[in-house]
Amino acid sequence: MTNISRRDLLKSSAVTAAGATAGLTGIASASNHGKHNHSKSKRVVIVGGGIGGATAAQYLKKMDSDIDVTLIEANKNYHTCFMSNEVIGGVRPMDSIEFNYDKLAEKGIKVVFGSVINIDPDKQRVITKDNKVFSYDRAIVSPGIDFKYDEIEGYSKEVSETSIPHAWKAGPQTAMLLKQLQEMKDGGTFVIVTPPNPFRCPPGPYERASLVAAYFKKHKPNSKVVILDPKEKFSKFGLFMDGWKRHYGYGTDKSIITWIGKEAGGTVSKVDVATKTVTAEAGEFKADVLNIIPPQKAGPIAFETDLVGDLDWCSVDHKTFESTIHKNIHVIGDASIASPMPKSGYSANSQAKVCAAAIASSLNGVPMPDPSWVNTCYSIIAPKDGVSVAMVYAYKDGKIIKVKGSGGLTGPYNAEDRKREELYAHSWFNNITADIFG
Ligand SMILES: Cc1cc2nc3c(=O)[nH]c(=O)nc-3n(C[C@H](O)[C@H](O)[C@H](O)COP(=O)(O)OP(=O)(O)OC[C@H]3O[C@@H](n4cnc5c(N)ncnc54)[C@H](O)[C@@H]3O)c2cc1C
């Protein structure tokens, strides 16, 4: 089978996977005709209007328009992390990754702007900072991630917001990092400190390093990118290494990119904020522009509500995404433990559809069929050089499993394929953002 036809096959199986969840609309829509109205009250409150939360809101309404859906989100605008590396690399404007909730409100979803400070699992209610109380039959929590700032001495939330951004939640810090790179002198050094597993978007730090290197190659050719990594390998390792050799002279004296992995001493323990110098096992590295992506955990509300137990992430039933700790609260997206699915936006989108189907089925007293999921993560290594990793997932013996023979990685370099992958990446972005916010 050629590389292209294998990937086309994947696309058709991805459609099947998406279709499997879409097919559940048929089950739930029976309730819209009054056939299965087992439950009088159908209130679902969603905490977090990011990728998982906004998708779940849309699909609950599509599956059963009688469900009363309230979406509570801290910010009026959402910036996607996907394509934020292109913003940082100076090839895409910031407003192209900005979305709002107008279309969701038009579809009958009650959109509330506010911060949830408490979820009471016994009384089944959600409370916001301004003391609004929302009762639910089912809650969905999709709060994304928080950072373990104190694992790097000297780093803090305040430092990330004022001088050394992580830019791992898109928005003001994305703009700050872009500005710092643009203002950096030619001949400067951009140091990027990557997190240990598990973390949001496994190939993301390496795509960022690549796109900053592409910017330097074009605009600041004497500048360097240094990646300090506590891992020995990372997502799409071979594809990035090959791309860095072809585009950025990797492995030669003239390389724009230097990658220092675990064995070479890439683990960072400390930062001196004033001089932007980090201490790694390999020694001290002084940056002109410094990007520290700290170790991660589930968003604060997951800890506040004790959805984590002794862990950093929320354990869930893989068929429904209901918390294994609190009944009637479902956790999706980055905050959930859904391994072998990666913490990605596409995973969050796929999980949201399965979770919405599970809730719509349960509220209407119909059984939930076995679900399936899909994920593709694109990365741009240089302009016209896109790569991807993709997988279809099934449900077996109570767990999410990879479907053998589905998905895989982009094959060896071929200019036409790579140009097409970049196109696919951009069209994926347009399609998924329309699915979530459109
Ligand atoms: C640089 C970068 C590139 C990426 N590229 C890709 C990519 O190409 N493809 C891909 O699939 N994924 C990508 N990702 C990953 C993707 O962005 C995340 O996996 C995805 O956003 C997870 O969705 P989520 O719903 O779990 O969290 P989020 O999208 O972060 O949403 C969480 C939302 O909850 C809100 N919230 C949190 N707590 C509260 C509260 N207490 N009250 C009210 N609101 C609250 C937040 O404001 C936020 O809007 C990338 C990530 C990064 C950092």
Cβ of 427 below 6 Å from ligand 1? no
- Determine the residue of 55, 77, 81, 379 to mutate for testing ligand 1's pocket, defined as the one with the most ligand atoms within 8 A of the Cβ atom: 81
Same CATH fold, 148-292 and 3-144+299-437? yes
Confidence at residue 143, expressed as pLDDT on a 0 to 100 scale: 98
* Class for the domain spanning 148-292: alpha beta
Going residue by residue through the chain, which has 438 residues, state the pLDDT in tens, using 9 for 90 and above.
333 333 333 333 333 344 444 445 454 444 444 444 444 789 999 999 999 999 999 999 999 999 999 999 999 999 999 999 999 999 999 999 999 999 999 999 999 999 999 999 999 999 999 999 999 999 999 999 999 999 999 999 999 999 999 999 999 999 999 999 999 999 999 999 999 999 999 999 999 999 999 999 999 999 999 999 999 999 999 999 999 999 999 999 999 999 999 999 999 999 999 999 999 999 999 999 999 999 999 999 999 999 999 999 999 999 999 999 999 999 999 999 999 999 999 999 999 999 999 999 999 999 999 999 999 999 999 999 999 999 999 999 999 999 999 999 999 999 999 999 999 999 999 999 999 999
Q: CA–CA separation, 2 vs 34, rounded Å? A: 50
Q: By alpha-carbon position, which residue is closest to atom 18 of ligand 1?
A: 345
143 lines ligand 1 (CB under 6 A): yes
Please tell me the distance between residue 249's alpha carbon and the centre of ligand 1 in angstroms: 33
Task: Check pocket membership of 14 for ligand 1, CB cut-off 6 A.
Answer: no
How much is the pLDDT for 289?
Answer: 98
Residue 41 is predicted with a pLDDT of 87
Q: Where are the domains of the chain?
A: 3-144+299-437, 148-292
Ligand 1 atom with least separation from CA of 52: 25
Within 275-344, residue ranges assigned H as helices are 300-304
Ligand 1 centroid to residue 333 C-alpha, Å: 8
Q: Which residue stretches of 291-365 are H helix?
A: 300-304, 345-363
For 149-173, the three-class secondary structure string (H helix, E strand, C coil) is HHHCECCCHHHHHHCCCCCCCCCHH
Q: Cβ–Cβ contacts within 10 Å for residue 2, how many?
A: 8
The reply to whether ligand 1 has any atom less than 6 angstroms from the CB of 202 is: no
C-alpha distances out from residue 232 to 112, 172, 192, 227, 259, Å = 43, 31, 16, 12, 10
Q: Does residue 323 have its Cβ closer than 6 Å to ligand 1? A: no
pLDDT in tens, 6-38: 333 333 333 334 444 444 545 444 444 444 444
Q: Which atom of ligand 1 is nearest to the CA of 80?
A: 17
User: CB–CB of 332/140 below 8 Å?
Assistant: yes
| Helix, strand, or coil (residue 428) | helix
Span 3-144+299-437: which CATH code? 3.50.50.60
In Å, how far are 349, 403, 420 from 10, measured between CA atoms?
18, 11, 15
C-alpha–C-alpha distance, residues 230 and 323, integer Å:
31
Q: Percentages helix, strand, coil for the chain, rounded to the nearest 5?
A: 35, 25, 40
Residue 236, ligand 1, Cβ within 6 A: no
Q: Which atom of ligand 1 is nearest to the CA of 379?
A: 8
Interval between CA 340 and ligand 1 midpoint (Å): 18
Instruction: Determine the pLDDT at residue 233.
Output: 97
Cβ of residue 51 lying under 6 Å from some atom of ligand 1: yes
What's the CA dihedral at 244, 247, 251, 252 to 10 degrees? Answer: -160
Q: Which atom of ligand 1 is least distant from the CA of 425?
A: 8
pTM over 0.85: yes
| Burial class, 340, CB count within 10 angstroms (exposed 0-12 / middle 13-18 / buried 19+) | exposed
Long-range contacts of 176-179 (CB under 8 A, 24+ apart): 177/88, 177/289, 177/291, 178/87, 178/88, 178/90, 178/94
How remote is the CA of residue 313 from the centroid of ligand 1, in Å? 14
Q: Which residues contact 14 (CB under 8 A, 6 or more apart)?
A: 374, 376, 390, 392
Pick from 32, 39, 108, 100: nearest CA to 70: 108
Contact 151, 295 (CB under 8 A): yes
Q: Tokens for 116, please give them.
A: 């949830």
CB neighbours of residue 181 within 10 Å: 22
Give the per-residue pLDDT at 32: 47
Name which residue sits closest to atom 23 of ligand 1, judged by CA. 51
Q: How far apart are CA 27 and CA 366, in angstroms?
A: 7
CA of 368 to the centre of ligand 1 (A): 27
346 Cα nearest atom in ligand 1: 11
**Three-state DSSP class for residue 20:** helix
Is 91 touching ligand 1 by the criterion CB < 6 Å?
no
Q: Which atom of ligand 1 is nearest to the CA of 114?
A: 43
Q: How many CA atoms lie within 13 A of 283 on its CB side?
A: 5
Q: Give pLDDT, residue 36.
A: 45
| C-alpha torsion 101→106→110→115, nearest 10 | 10
Phi, psi (rounded to 5 degrees) for 430: -65, -45
Q: Indicate the burial class of 333 (C-beta count within 10 angstroms; 0-12, 13-18, 19 or more).
A: buried
Q: Is 333 in the pocket of ligand 1 (CB under 6 A)?
A: yes
